[in-house]
Amino acid sequence: MNSIELGENHKRAFWSTVYIIEKLVTELEHELQHPVQRILIQTTRDYPDGYSSQLLSRIQEIKSCLASLASKYNLKEEENSLHQLVESKKSVMWEVLHDTAPGKLKRYGTFPAEHAPEFEADLNRLMMMIENL
């Protein structure tokens, strides 16, 4: 296989594409192998028996293709610390919670004033739990 050297901008864009596809197929793979009990969404296993193994096989093909493309286009593996990953996820959760405060929800209509203090307290409790991760 011939190596192809992309310009830095194109390489960065393609690296992001490969990263996102790898992340999505890895999440799908995990869901197929280790179903997760969620609070708000329950995944229905509606494929025929044996189809999950076909999907897992196709996922491995995709991962192999991604590895081949990374090699071909000289996409370098990056190292991330677990600490950085946890802090990043906490930051995103904080941002989402902050954007859910009663005052921020006014774009969806007036938030009921009688529920705002309790709602705010619930959000703050959750924020403290996330902060303690």
Residue with tokens 């859910």: 100
Task: Count the neighbouring beta carbons within 10 Å of the beta carbon of residue 75.
Answer: 20
How many structural domains is the chain composed of?
Answer: 2
Q: Confirm whether 56 is domain-assigned.
A: yes
Q: Confirm whether 3 is domain-assigned.
A: no
pLDDT for residue 106: 87
Asked if 55 and 35 sit in the same domain, the reply is yes
Q: Confirm whether 2 is domain-assigned.
A: no
Q: Confirm whether 77 is domain-assigned.
A: no
Q: Confirm whether 64 is domain-assigned.
A: yes
- The pLDDT tens digits of the residues spanning 53-83 come to 999 999 999 999 999 999 999 999 999 999 9
pLDDT for residue 39: 93
How does residue 6 score in pLDDT terms, banded at 50, 70 and 90?
very high
Asked if 32 and 68 sit in the same domain, the reply is yes
Three-class secondary structure assignment of the chain: CCCCCCCHHHHHHHHHHHHHHHHHHHHHHHHHHCCCCCCCCCCCCCCCCCHHHHHHHHHHHHHHHHHHHHHHCCCCCCCCCHHHHHHHHHHHHHHHHHCCCCCHHHECECCCCCCHHHHHHHHHHHHHHHHCC
- The pLDDT tens digits of the residues spanning 92-131 come to 999 999 999 999 998 899 999 999 999 999 999 999 999 9
Give the range of the structural domain holding residue 120, as residue numbers without chain letter. 82-131
pLDDT for residue 49: 87
What is the model's pTM?
0.79
Asked if 50 and 99 sit in the same domain, the reply is no
